[in-house]
Amino acid sequence: MGRGPLLGAVAVGIVMIERKKYQKLIEEGIFQPGKDSKKLTPKKRTEYFAKINELKEQEVLNYGVFFESNMIIDKFGIVGAIKMAVRKGLENLKCDPEETEILLDGWLKAPQEYLNQKSIVRGDESELVIALASIVAKVTRDAKMEKLAESIPRYDLKSNKGYGTAKHIADLKQYGPHELHRKSFIKHFVG
């Protein structure tokens, strides 16, 4: 999450759940299927995030959100940074490269040693586990941006979450870049 912002890290959410528990979760219908986290209201995302945390406490699933900084994005590109976050997440959650079935959103790829992986275009609209991963990444990244807004209020991060809104771009031009701006993303806006 956070591919397009001008400021801050990119976040990758990973949700782990056993196949039987996943099927039961789908059957229970706790979550509305087919929702991109960006299309949910902030209130609905927060509700879902609370439910996801309850399921984590009940050991129905596990999840983690893994970040790569704006400096990594500038050095390796957004795709490279996302790949690094995916690797970090899979290793941190101790996913077995030979046994774990991995579903990825869009054109994302897990490292090649993860043998059982499938990339699904608009996966967050068709696979609940991908939608849940998208929600945890978005809510966690947004919270990080809101916290950051307290220390650097001039870019209005509380409302734009680092994305390139007209106001953010105007503020960027007026105040110049912060060290957390993605230099490769803002080069067209500042000289």
Query: Which tokens in the block code for residue 110?
Result: 């897990």
pLDDT at 109 over 60: yes
Q: pTM score, two decimals?
A: 0.92
Query: Which tokens in the block code for residue 141?
Result: 């990244």
- Cβ neighbourhood burial of 161 (10 Å; 0-12, 13-18, 19+): buried
pLDDT value of position 88: 96
The model's confidence at residue 39, banded by pLDDT at 50, 70 and 90, is: confident
pLDDT value of position 35: 61
**C-alpha span between 36 and 19 (Å, rounded):** 22
The mean per-residue pLDDT over the stretch 10-27 comes to: 94
What is the residue-averaged pLDDT of the chain?
A: 92
What is the share, in percent, of the chain residues with pLDDT greater than 70? Answer: 96
User: Residues 53-92: pLDDT tens digits?
Assistant: 999 999 999 999 999 999 999 999 999 999 999 999 999 9
The radius of gyration of the chain's CA atoms, rounded to the nearest angstrom, is 17
pLDDT at 36 over 70: no
User: Residues 142-179: pLDDT tens digits?
Assistant: 999 999 999 999 999 999 999 999 999 999 999 999 99
pLDDT value of position 14: 97
pLDDT value of position 4: 84
pLDDT value of position 29: 86
Give the least confident one: 10-14, 105-109, 168-172, 186-190.
186-190
- Cβ neighbourhood burial of 26 (10 Å; 0-12, 13-18, 19+): middle
pLDDT value of position 55: 97
The mean per-residue pLDDT over the stretch 112-135 comes to: 93
- Cβ neighbourhood burial of 50 (10 Å; 0-12, 13-18, 19+): exposed
Q: What are the structural domains, with CATH classification, of the chain?
A: 10-141 (3.30.420.10)
The model's confidence at residue 38, banded by pLDDT at 50, 70 and 90, is: confident
Task: Count the Cβ atoms, other than its own, within 10 Å of residue 51.
Answer: 14
pLDDT at 20 over 70: yes
Instruction: For residue 171, give the amino acid letter.
Output: D
**C-alpha span between 48 and 100 (Å, rounded):** 25
CA-nearest of 69, 53, 43, 30 to 136 is: 53
Biggest CA–CA distance in the chain, Å, is 55
